[in-house]
Structure 1
Amino acid sequence: MLDQLRSQSATSGDDGSQQQSPAPYRMSSRNAYRRSHGKSRTGCKNCKRRKIKCDEQRPSCRNCLKHRVDCEFVVGLDAFLRPRNATTAQPNSDLNMFDLELMHHYTTSAYATLSCEPVLRNLWRGPVVELAFTCDYVMRTILAVSALHLAHHRPEKKDFYVSIALTYHQIASRQALGLLSDVAKEDVVKLFMFSSLTIFVALGGPRNPSDGLLFIGESSFPDWIFLLRGTKSLIAIAGQELSRGPLAPLFTHAMRRWEILHPPEEAGSCQEDVLGELQALVDANVGDEEALRIYNHATTELRGVLRAFDTENGASMGITDAFVWIHEVTEEFLPLLRVPTQEALAIFAHFCVLLKKLEIHWWMQGWANHLMRRVHEHLDDEHRLWIRWPIEEIGWVPPRN
């Protein structure tokens, strides 16, 4: 039998010579289940430094999320944003599916929550996204907003989405803040849009009991408020480029809302009567003429905004309407919250009434009560009597002494 098998192993060639047939392929049971292993050298820097296995998940691997540190390979997004030569460009074989999920969610859902105005919704979904494809810090901020919106609607994965949002925004902020020290004209539109999106990140992100929207503790502002204060200087640098460019609908809407918020003097509402009483208290207790002028200006501007909210019942009001007051008083009044003075805090407490009316938006929910508590903590017993109306208006319950 063995000889018979040997004789079958040789065959005749075309020239009659004997040719040895190829040896049959044999796979041992051990090799049959062996997986090919390709070493990856694209893990994040933190995992390489610690010499541990990196799962390479984007935008942050699980090891970095666990230790709450920046994952340094997030820059992979730059590969998609960096311009390439059309004749030599090669498609990237690795798709960042999570980033695509965030962008899909933004363009189909999250964008519509940033404004009630159809024109502005189209702006957030169209021109702003187009701008982001030319600017990675704007792109990362868009993805951060999208992640925060998902965190709001998927509470079982809230910590994961919040970590992603903060990681993206921290990287974007480092890039943007570095450009703000010496703003080039070609960066103005991008920085302005980054500042606008950052407001939603700050409002929709997590907050600690000690955090404030405009002040933290007694002497410091969060970074984003400086961006808000800097919008005036950005507009001044850009000139008409902002109002005539792709963001023109935003400025047209802002001007229209400003006119609504500054109507001719009419018969006062209940809210205006309350602000009149507040202004009388300030007049009677402040001796410094310059400080008194600042307080009166802030109160007058707030009266106009409250009147508009009262007229429209808050249904169509947006972030522009509330923060137009911040924009008007940013240079002189907001610094007084850094001290803070008792009068500035009392006036700001009345601003919380506007924020309460905006809680139809996910990014504003809880801020009115949060800030009222912060104000109440910093006021003495006498000045707490000045804010009884806004406390009752928003339904906040002061803690027991």
Structure 2
Amino acid sequence: MTSQLPIAEPMTSRKRKVHKKSRQGCGNCKLRRVKCDENKPQCKKCMDFGVSCSYDPKSSTLELSTSGELSIDFSVKPLPQMVQSITFGMINPLVGLPTRPWVGRIDYQLGEQDMALLHKFQMRTSCTVGTELSSCLYQTEIFKLACSHSFLMHIVLAMTLMHDRHISPSPDRKPSPAESYHCYQGTALFNSALSQPIQPSERDALWGAAALLGAIAFSWVEARTPDEAWPLKASSPADLDWLKLTDGKREVYKITNPARLDSVFHTLFKPTGDFLPCDPRGTDLKNIPDEFIKLYELDHPSSGTQTANNPYHAAVCTLANLFNLECNRSTILEFLSFVTHMCTDLKQLLEAKDPRALLLLAHWYAKLCNYQQWWIWRRAVLECQAICIYLERYRGQHDIAIRGLLRWPKIICSGLVAG
């Protein structure tokens, strides 16, 4: 017997009020899913959040505002209770893992302040590191990886706090207790994870942590004046730590292979890989000024011979490719290749404050001075100025040649104030 559903009585349809939905808001408000006031050239929501306002329909990422003063609310805004319970419930069981036994058992639970920092990282800090493509990956993939790997979560929180400190109207050179805590915990857990057999599921998180730690190390400058900066300051075991970290980052690259096809980062790497050693043999030197060729004892192209054993050779060749290139968001990886391709002998010469090695670093810093990004700007300006002062006091072999080539970086960095 077939039963039939009763036919419903026709109901009087209720008229709904028609709401006019505007699609004229700026791209950043659409990306953040907030209501835009549509003020031009900059809406108030973007000004308050400290990002550039763009009405370009092709714009797809948030960019930190670089014109005028930043107006950023550093206070922590409470999240709705429903959002708190869902977010904390999803993340805390994964992030609140105990540290390794030798570090001490510490269970860390994310709170409202941490959630506000995570929002800042995803919508602001991630947009300041690397190229436009890598920033998009940091916005999405590193954020997701941090939710399941405690070492990366601590590093993300530390970097966001460091970013807050750098762009504050009156920045403090010393990290806050929270920043120091997260930096320590993240580094300790990261080193502990590397000391154990690496699981396939950890590889992307480990590489993401190494990438962020590289930026953190470069931005960590306590000096206020050139006299307090390296190489003018008193020698310390911590000198050039940011450069030494490159060797460790190269080893993490080998272990994690972020260029592999199943990595979330594989689109960022060329087939040859950014961390493969640079081979100067066969490099065309015709674009290198004669003053550099003579000072660094490079073979002239017409001689037909090569100087692969020259510790300066690869660095000069890499630097020469950057002479006519502006350092910006699109080219920053090419400028960072100067460091990643630096040979061990040249790093040792820098540690010994070799004048010719310092001159190369000063030229590289001078190019970076044009890229006013928070984690690059202070070190580039202060150490470029310090190197110029140091080399001006230098008296010895190659003195005249060094002074001649020092004029350009001195002009670039003079008058700049690394606030």
Structure 1 and Structure 2 fold alike (TM over 0.5): yes
CA spacing shift, 1:297–1:218, aligned 2, 3 Å: farther
Corresponding residue of 2:403 = 385
CA spacing shift, 1:296–1:216, aligned 2, 3 Å: farther
Q: Secondary structure at the match of 1:126?
A: helix
Structure of greater Rg: 1
The one of 268, 278, 297 aligned to 1:250: 268
Q: Distance in 1 between matches of 2:258 and 2:131?
A: 26
Q: Secondary structure at the match of 1:283?
A: coil
CA spacing shift, 1:244–1:331, aligned 2, 3 Å: farther
The one of 359, 364, 368 aligned to 2:376: 364
Alignment of 1:62-101 (within 5 A): 80-82=94-96, 96-101=111-116
- 1:219-244 Cα offsets, whole Å, 9 max, x none, are 65454433322232222233476453
Corresponding residue of 2:357 = 344
Corresponding residue of 2:151 = 137
Q: Do 1:131 and 1:190's aligned partners in 2 also have CA atoms closer than 8 Å?
A: yes
Q: Do 1:162 and 1:206's aligned partners in 2 also have CA atoms closer than 8 Å?
A: no
The one of 319, 323, 329 aligned to 1:306: 323
CA spacing shift, 1:190–1:327, aligned 2, 3 Å: same
Report the AA paired with residue 146 of structure 1.
T
Following superposition, the deviation at residue 125 of structure 1 comes to 0.7
Q: Normalised by the size of structure 1, how large is the TM-score?
A: 0.61
Q: Normalised by the size of structure 2, how large is the TM-score?
A: 0.59
Q: Distance in 2 between matches of 1:233 and 1:139?
A: 21
Of Structure 1 and Structure 2, the greater helix share is in 1
Corresponding residue of 1:232 = 250
Q: Distance in 2 between matches of 1:292 and 1:160?
A: 42
Q: Do 1:189 and 1:238's aligned partners in 2 also have CA atoms closer than 8 Å?
A: yes
Corresponding residue of 1:332 = 345
Alignment of 1:286-325 (within 5 A): 293-307=310-324, 309=325, 313-325=326-338
Structure 1 unaligned regions, length at least 5: 1-76, 84-91
Q: Distance in 2 between matches of 1:252 and 1:223?
A: 27
Q: Distance in 1 between matches of 2:374 and 2:412?
A: 17
CA spacing shift, 1:112–1:346, aligned 2, 3 Å: same
The one of 153, 160, 163 aligned to 1:146: 160
Corresponding residue of 1:282 = 296
Report the AA paired with residue 192 of structure 1.
W
Q: Distance in 1 between matches of 2:172 and 2:250?
A: 35
Corresponding residue of 1:197 = 212
Identity of aligned residues (%): 16
Report the AA paired with residue 293 of structure 1.
N
Q: Distance in 1 between matches of 2:258 and 2:375?
A: 30
Q: Do 1:219 and 1:338's aligned partners in 2 also have CA atoms closer than 8 Å?
A: no
CA spacing shift, 1:277–1:95, aligned 2, 3 Å: closer
CA spacing shift, 1:254–1:368, aligned 2, 3 Å: farther
Matching of residue 127 in structure 1 with residue 141 in structure 2: yes
Corresponding residue of 1:172 = 186
Q: Secondary structure at the match of 2:323?
A: helix
CA spacing shift, 1:211–1:162, aligned 2, 3 Å: farther
Report the AA paired with residue 226 of structure 1.
K
- 1:194-218 Cα offsets, whole Å, 9 max, x none, are 12101222233442254549x9837
Q: Secondary structure at the match of 2:353?
A: coil
Q: Secondary structure at the match of 2:310?
A: helix
Q: Secondary structure at the match of 1:170?
A: helix
Matching of residue 396 in structure 1 with residue 411 in structure 2: no
Cα RMSD for the two superposed structures:
4.0
Report the AA paired with residue 180 of structure 2.
L
Corresponding residue of 1:103 = 118
Structure 2 unaligned regions, length at least 5: 1-90, 98-106, 299-305
Report the AA paired with residue 135 of structure 1.
H
Following superposition, the deviation at residue 184 of structure 1 comes to 2.8
Following superposition, the deviation at residue 151 of structure 1 comes to 2.0
Q: Do 1:189 and 1:242's aligned partners in 2 also have CA atoms closer than 8 Å?
A: no
Moved segments of 4+, more than 6 Å: 289-292
Following superposition, the deviation at residue 280 of structure 1 comes to 0.7
